[in-house]
Structure 1
């Protein structure tokens, strides 16, 4: 028998078996059962159809981790629309590009962020604008809750598992983000894998510290819902609030970038220790380049939490590997920290390889460096309207595999460990930052003659952007502009998290005979005291 894999099945199952059970703890501490969550999603589906939304139309969601995000996502997907979540840390120019690129028909925006959309609404094709507090927003916006007051009746169209159901925009190696197209099939299978490897169960209490916009919250908008587990929503990351939620709601599972773990440790130290668990034991997933061993040690030995390190990219679901492989370590063995720092082994059904420039597997010696490539059912369908970039992403070294852009080694057990990054991407606090976008921004300043941006080590963020600027007047001692001036210039043009943390004025940049900047030399200098040239988180 063959049954289509559809993401709508996750909420359908929760309503069928867990309808009377608590589904969501809102940021206001209102509580909704799965019956109530489902009814609100139905009413948003009906509203979308009243607006003229049809199967395949794009509906954007700009929201922190509130119950409105869940309702808007499922409400969109139930009518066959393409859920298009937006990073709430971007600036209006970014939204203008994305809304035009995706051809978005409807935007739901939280009241705190709606002004960013209002600033560009005349420059995008979007016709309908909805918010959760219309009185707090300038311009003509529909009220989410008032729209839900009408009928919950809607027509669910016939859907195929190959239909695109979500577009996630990611920073690329150029300034323009790319829309990662994910289908019902890829989303469903990824959610199954998350459920398996993160050991989800129906009695889990999941705390939303990971942004829901980030690859659909790593698929947790599906997996937590499908299990009938409980969502605890947040409006941001606050260490005291996280510990309060863990204790008060009995949180059992959360995802936390290394920067979030650092915030929690700082709070813990400042307070001289706090209660770190409630009614349930806590497990926490962290992703990317692992946090330092000291962080893992504190989380496990002082907080009493179990840490799982996972790895992936927006294009791959995101998750493709895990260091949560208990047959390779004992829970009380200090040697486990070294294994948990590695990106780990492939998820079930996921073919993860590290290959050389000829597409051949590197030896399992823990020393030979190659690029990570992956093939799996959770990997994206394509980039939205970018066939050439799609072709390149799947064919550069090894045909048919997505190329991660991370350079790594493999040990004798198949554990992957990232050593460096091939792409011009900086991953700071879990956010992708294009070094090329930063260079283009700085180069537009009249006092900048040349510029190169690289990742530099950061205790707080793992790595952060650093700019090397050759002044237009050629004099680094008297460049005609201050570091503060250039940082302010960047803040006016790009999202705050992308702004360099440091600018160094130099007389020249290292270049090849053909004039290409040798960023590797700059990175070697910055990372000479580190064991690898990639940030710890």
Structure 2
């Protein structure tokens, strides 16, 4: 028989089987059972309908990892609205673009970030503005808890189809304006099933939210943790000391962390003379992005006593499509396991991962031949919002019907992939995507800049960081008429802070082809000369 796959069923299941069990530990210390979480989601759903929100309308959520995000997400989805989580590190101009592009009808914004919405609220189609602390926010905002108290719990849940869009996740804009990745009930549900299996999520897990909930719905954990009846421990940011303390005090058994977070934890651990790293249960941690160095994995596993799972994907793919947790290929006590865990690994269940050459043919499994990673799977996006040409290109470059990841990799004899370089000029710094094109466009606006190329440069802290090669307007790299600090501040003033260029080198000219195209490859090759690969660990 066929039963529709709907994301609303994750909270429904938790309420049915784990209603009296603790569901959420809030950042304030308050604790909510699944019955209470469900009731708050119902009230938010009723409040949205009272404000005219209907099936298919977009409801944005701008929030760090608090219980309000979970309630707003499930409340929105219960009325058939499209959950549209926003990256809280963006600028007001970024939010204006996204809210307009998605035609967002209502927004819940945490009090720390509502100030970024206030300046642009008259420019966007959004009509409903809700925050969790209206007294802390300028402008006319409704208070979340007051809205819930007034709403009651009765709402009409519309009939929904598994093929309908339920989430739009905006990319970081690595090739121009951000693109809205459309994900259906079916895609979200199957991805949550997959991570429940591969991340071994159980009902007695306690999950610590160090991974942003906005980031492809927190890698699907807003669904999987909820549906399995496990416990959410919320946070308002990432602090190494707080992470270790929370792991101990809340008996955390599972968390996620980009390689940057792993480095923060290691630094804290070494500076504090090896504090206790676990509570009662064993701890496992998932990391993604570029592969962490073997030394990082070794410290996490041998010193912290945590089990590390390295996974890989993209916003467009769910995100997760591979795992290095292939235990038949390594022994838990062998030092050889770290080299295997660095790899992006094997495809998830039901996921077709290939590495193909420019003609669309599979490269040999010799761990030397390089091709582009392409993927088919039920967790892959439906389309880009209002961008049919970009959608067609993403699925039809080298191999028709496969999403093209833009990463170049090799494949070993076991079929495990390992990324070697990037097809596109994307900088991944601390797990965040940064567009070199966007940085170049910004720097070109500075009067002292004649020409510029931005590439990823190696960084011990972030894996890689943006570096600009600048041809000064006066043509004198030894006396460019502007300082590095001034250019860094210029990018920080005009972009989200994490996108700011961190290093600047003044040059007389940039390497170009005969047609004038800048040869970024030459710049990367020179910058990464001392490294073992031209891709960072961040």
**TM-score, normalised relative to structure 2:** 0.99
Residue 47 of structure 1 is matched in structure 2 by 47
Residue 459 of structure 1: how far off its partner (Å): 0.6
Residue 135 of structure 1 is matched in structure 2 by 135
**Secondary structure of residue in 2 paired with 1:201:** coil
Q: Deviations over 1:220-247 (max 9, x none)?
A: 0000000000000000000111001100
Residue 201 of structure 1: how far off its partner (Å): 0.4
Residue 173 of structure 1: how far off its partner (Å): 3.6
Residue 221 of structure 1 is matched in structure 2 by 222
* Residue 495 of structure 2 corresponds to residue 486 of structure 1: no
Residue 82 of structure 1: how far off its partner (Å): 0.4
Q: Deviations over 1:336-376 (max 9, x none)?
A: 00000000000000000000000000000000000000000
Is the 1:456–1:527 contact (alpha carbons within 8 Å) kept by the matching residues of 2?
yes
Q: Mean Cα displacement is larger for which, 183-192 or 481-490? A: 481-490
Q: How does 1:441-460 map to 2 (within 5 A)?
A: 441-460=442-461
**Secondary structure of residue in 2 paired with 1:492:** helix
Q: How does 1:272-311 map to 2 (within 5 A)?
A: 272-311=273-312
Q: Mean Cα displacement is larger for which, 120-129 or 30-39? A: 120-129
Residue 171 of structure 1: how far off its partner (Å): 2.2
Residue 391 of structure 1 is matched in structure 2 by 392
Is the 1:172–1:425 contact (alpha carbons within 8 Å) kept by the matching residues of 2?
no
Residue 93 of structure 2 is matched in structure 1 by 93
Residue 83 of structure 1: how far off its partner (Å): 0.3
Residue 256 of structure 1 is matched in structure 2 by 257
Residue 36 of structure 1: how far off its partner (Å): 0.1
Q: How does 1:45-84 map to 2 (within 5 A)?
A: 45-84=45-84
Aligned counterparts of 1:185 and 1:460: Cα–Cα separation in 2: 38
Aligned counterparts of 1:394 and 1:498: Cα–Cα separation in 2: 28
Aligned counterparts of 1:447 and 1:81: Cα–Cα separation in 2: 48
**Secondary structure of residue in 2 paired with 1:148:** helix
Residue 175 of structure 1: how far off its partner (Å): 2.7
Aligned counterparts of 1:525 and 1:322: Cα–Cα separation in 2: 31
**Secondary structure of residue in 1 paired with 2:522:** helix
Residue 334 of structure 1 is matched in structure 2 by 335
Residue 163 of structure 2 is matched in structure 1 by 162
Aligned counterparts of 1:408 and 1:419: Cα–Cα separation in 2: 5
Aligned counterparts of 1:374 and 1:464: Cα–Cα separation in 2: 28
Q: How does 1:113-152 map to 2 (within 5 A)?
A: 113-150=113-150, 151-152=152-153
**Secondary structure of residue in 2 paired with 1:60:** strand
Aligned counterparts of 2:373 and 2:173: Cα–Cα separation in 1: 17
Q: How does 1:191-230 map to 2 (within 5 A)?
A: 191-230=192-231
**Secondary structure of residue in 2 paired with 1:372:** strand
Q: Deviations over 1:234-282 (max 9, x none)?
A: 0000011100110000000000000001111111111111000001100
Q: Deviations over 1:488-517 (max 9, x none)?
A: 111111000000110111111100000101
Is the 2:258–2:430 contact (alpha carbons within 8 Å) kept by the matching residues of 1?
yes
* Residue 350 of structure 2 corresponds to residue 349 of structure 1: yes
Residue 387 of structure 1: how far off its partner (Å): 0.4
Consecutive unaligned residues of structure 1, counting only runs of 5 or more, are: none
Residue 103 of structure 2 is matched in structure 1 by 103
Aligned counterparts of 2:174 and 2:497: Cα–Cα separation in 1: 18
Residue 481 of structure 1: how far off its partner (Å): 1.2
Root-mean-square deviation over aligned CA pairs: 0.6
Residue 232 of structure 1 is matched in structure 2 by 233
Q: Mean Cα displacement is larger for which, 168-177 or 431-440? A: 168-177
**Secondary structure of residue in 2 paired with 1:87:** coil
Aligned counterparts of 1:366 and 1:174: Cα–Cα separation in 2: 29
**Secondary structure of residue in 2 paired with 1:278:** coil
Aligned counterparts of 2:289 and 2:421: Cα–Cα separation in 1: 12
Residue 152 of structure 1: how far off its partner (Å): 1.0
Residue 26 of structure 2 is matched in structure 1 by 26
Residue 17 of structure 1 is matched in structure 2 by 17
Aligned counterparts of 1:488 and 1:301: Cα–Cα separation in 2: 40
Residue 533 of structure 1 is matched in structure 2 by 534
Aligned counterparts of 2:528 and 2:97: Cα–Cα separation in 1: 35
Aligned counterparts of 1:474 and 1:160: Cα–Cα separation in 2: 61
Residue 482 of structure 1: how far off its partner (Å): 1.1
Aligned counterparts of 2:411 and 2:513: Cα–Cα separation in 1: 31
**Secondary structure of residue in 2 paired with 1:423:** coil
Aligned counterparts of 1:183 and 1:454: Cα–Cα separation in 2: 35
* Residue 319 of structure 2 corresponds to residue 318 of structure 1: yes
Is the 1:171–1:177 contact (alpha carbons within 8 Å) kept by the matching residues of 2?
yes
**TM-score, normalised relative to structure 1:** 0.99
Residue 536 of structure 1: how far off its partner (Å): 1.1
Residue 288 of structure 1: how far off its partner (Å): 2.0
Aligned counterparts of 2:287 and 2:175: Cα–Cα separation in 1: 27
Aligned counterparts of 2:320 and 2:507: Cα–Cα separation in 1: 40
Aligned counterparts of 2:216 and 2:175: Cα–Cα separation in 1: 20
* Residue 174 of structure 2 corresponds to residue 179 of structure 1: no
Residue 436 of structure 1 is matched in structure 2 by 437
Residue 418 of structure 1 is matched in structure 2 by 419
Residue 289 of structure 1: how far off its partner (Å): 1.5
Q: How does 1:485-504 map to 2 (within 5 A)?
A: 485-504=486-505
Aligned counterparts of 2:258 and 2:225: Cα–Cα separation in 1: 19
**Secondary structure of residue in 2 paired with 1:147:** helix
